[in-house]
Amino acid sequence: MQAARRTRRAAAVAAAVTLALTAAGCGSDDDSGEAKKEKAPAKENSVSLPNLKGQKLTLAAIWTGPEQKRFTKVLDEFEKRTGAEVTFQPTGDNVATFLGSKVEGGQPPDVAMLPQVGVLHEFAKKGWVKPAGPETVAQLEKNFTKGWKDLGAYEGKQYGVYYKVANKSLVWYNTSIFADAGVSEPKTWDEFKTTVQTVSDYGVEPLSVGGADGWVLTDWFENIYLSQAGPEKYDQLAAHKIKWTDPSVTTALNTLAEVLGKQEYLAGGVKKTLQTEFPASITQTFAKEPKAGMVYEGDFVANFIEKETKAKVGTDAKVFPFPAVGGEAPVVSAGDVAVVMKESEGAQALLTFLASTDGAEIWAKQGGYTSPNKELDLNSYPDEISKKIAKALIDAGDDFRFDMSDQAPGAFGGTKGRGEWKRLQDFLKNPKDVKNIQAQLEADAAKAYKNAG
């Protein structure tokens, strides 16, 4: 999802490009039944794959740019081991719509990466995705915890493999500011508040928040809510089984207001924050003359720091897990789940490969990637930071939760200027008005969940 969000602005452009690319990619999957059943020579591989010489497969995913390049290396390895030919098909930002139109047109890709649990469920209900084969299930048993397996299942059947996930419970900080202000990485919410106050006393606004992008605010809220109210409540709220007027939401919003409700904590004040887009919130934290000490968001922040600023991740920019508000530190996650959309031996083999440790390791070594695969050696990650991020995710076991706003209907959890995004921006404008905000959140949620059926 993060890629989608990053490039939301250029959605129209991307869509046009996608159309062109799709036209070119059409008809690349033809008759390929005659695969020989020889085993490819295995050299210490964690997974055995069939020989698929001559088979042609397509894989559709949202990735572009460096992400696509890195993933292509994974596909190259698959091609080398099986002899199949895999074409990468970029979906553009709106993955569900893209795949939906492909299915309607009778040309689904063999394997696709779905960005949300909701989409997986919807596709499974419509019969657009095929259950994972026994080899894949075996890999899942070996490499994944129950939480991740369940997220890829629908009504008892295993469909998907979470290949690339995001850890969205991280706070990135400018090391020189932390050093000058004499603070260290906080572990609990109280320590975090002290840190924020000290950085503010030091003379730098402590928090940079991309308030123009509502999803940044929903992610803040989700972390606090998950840690404070616990996973059960979190699930209930995500499914709208409890109302947004629930006292637990009041507490979470009040907690959020302890830091985001203070004008002097926000880089440039509230008005500026509400017009700061997510990328700018990162660059201003790690610029030559930093405007803020910390920025909260997921692991993908690292890419932005490397690309958009001169700061080095690991020396100038470091990261600590989102502090524990309640008993446990939260781990909010999101991820791309691989599914088979056209049944074939090749497609199933590719899915198996993606579920294997080998498949994860190739990308892990290149960086910019987090795998939920618990068997993957943490030393595969190229640097300390990504190791730390992956460790926090794996350590959470089954207590991690999926991004709540991604689970909600788009009208509520995923629209610029609407629903939860807009309400939390209103909250930032007026953090004392919790009651009213909650009432509006509930009204929006009720309408959106009703429309979504």
Least Cβ distance, residue 321 to another protein (angstroms): 22
Distance CA 410, CA 151 (A): 19
Q: Are 296 and 172 in contact (CB under 8 A)?
A: yes
Residue 332 has φ and ψ, to the nearest 5°, of -100, 135
Among 73, 416, 432, 435, binds another protein (CB under 8 A): 416
Q: Which of residues 271-330 bind another protein (CB under 8 A)?
A: 271-272, 274-275, 277
Least Cβ distance, residue 414 to another protein (angstroms): 6
Distance CA 103, CA 109 (A): 8
Distance CA 61, CA 28 (A): 16
How far is CA 48 from its chain centroid?
29
Report which of 271, 254, 253, 252 is spatially closest to residue 263, judged by C-alpha positions: 271
x/- map, 235-264, another protein, by CB under 8 A: -----------------------------x
Least Cβ distance, residue 431 to another protein (angstroms): 14
Report which of 413, 402, 437, 420 is spatially closest to residue 254, judged by C-alpha positions: 437
Least Cβ distance, residue 182 to another protein (angstroms): 2
Could you tell me which stretch among 107-115, 236-244, 360-368, 425-433 binds another protein (CB under 8 A)? 425-433
Give the SS3 label for residue 270. Answer: helix
Distance CA 290, CA 288 (A): 6
Strand (E) or helix (H) holding 335: strand 332-340
Least Cβ distance, residue 427 to another protein (angstroms): 11
Which CA distances in Å does 21 have to 16, 91, 99, 179, 203? 9, 9, 14, 49, 50
Does residue 418 bind another protein (CB under 8 A)?
Answer: yes
Size of the site for another protein (CB under 8 A): 45
Could you tell me which stretch among 148-156, 224-232, 326-334, 420-428 binds another protein (CB under 8 A)? 420-428
Q: Which of residues 14-53 bind another protein (CB under 8 A)?
A: none
Residue 30 has φ and ψ, to the nearest 5°, of -120, -160
Paired residues of 294 in beta bridges: 173, 207
Does residue 213 bind another protein (CB under 8 A)?
Answer: yes
Strand (E) or helix (H) holding 296: strand 294-296
Q: In this structure, are strands 157-158 and 153-154 parallel, antiparallel, or unpaired?
A: antiparallel
Please identify, using beta-carbon distances, which residue of 44 and 289 lies nearer to another protein. 289
x/- map, 183-212, another protein, by CB under 8 A: x-------------xx-xxxxx------xx
Could you tell me which stretch among 246-254, 333-341, 388-396, 418-426 binds another protein (CB under 8 A)? 418-426
Q: Are 172 and 285 in contact (CB under 8 A)?
A: yes
Please identify, using beta-carbon distances, which residue of 375 and 426 lies nearer to another protein. 426
Alpha helices in 26-155 (DSSP H): 65-82, 95-104, 117-126, 134-143, 146-151
Distance CA 269, CA 263 (A): 5
Could you tell me which stretch among 292-300, 315-323, 339-347, 411-419 binds another protein (CB under 8 A)? 411-419
Least Cβ distance, residue 271 to another protein (angstroms): 6
Residue 233 has φ and ψ, to the nearest 5°, of -60, -40
Does residue 414 bind another protein (CB under 8 A)?
Answer: yes
346, two tokens: 């090749």
Does residue 180 bind another protein (CB under 8 A)?
Answer: yes
Does residue 432 bind another protein (CB under 8 A)?
Answer: no
Could you tell me which stretch among 127-135, 175-183, 235-243, 360-368 binds another protein (CB under 8 A)? 175-183
Does residue 12 bind another protein (CB under 8 A)?
Answer: yes
Does residue 181 bind another protein (CB under 8 A)?
Answer: yes
Does residue 452 bind another protein (CB under 8 A)?
Answer: yes
Please identify, using beta-carbon distances, which residue of 136 and 276 lies nearer to another protein. 276
Please identify, using beta-carbon distances, which residue of 182 and 327 lies nearer to another protein. 182
Least Cβ distance, residue 205 to another protein (angstroms): 9
For residue 207, give every residue at least 6 positions away whose Cβ sits within 8 Å of its Cβ, in sequence order, or none. Answer: 196, 259, 260, 265, 266, 267, 292, 293, 294, 295, 296
Q: Are 266 and 201 in contact (CB under 8 A)?
A: no
Least Cβ distance, residue 265 to another protein (angstroms): 11
Q: Are 120 and 160 in contact (CB under 8 A)?
A: yes
Could you tell me which stretch among 144-152, 270-278, 320-328, 338-346 binds another protein (CB under 8 A)? 270-278
Among 32, 363, 421, 434, binds another protein (CB under 8 A): 421
Please identify, using beta-carbon distances, which residue of 79 and 277 lies nearer to another protein. 277
Q: Which residues bind another protein (CB under 8 A)?
A: 9, 12-13, 179-183, 197-198, 200-204, 211-214, 264, 268, 271-272, 274-275, 277, 409-412, 414-419, 421-422, 425, 428-429, 448, 451-453
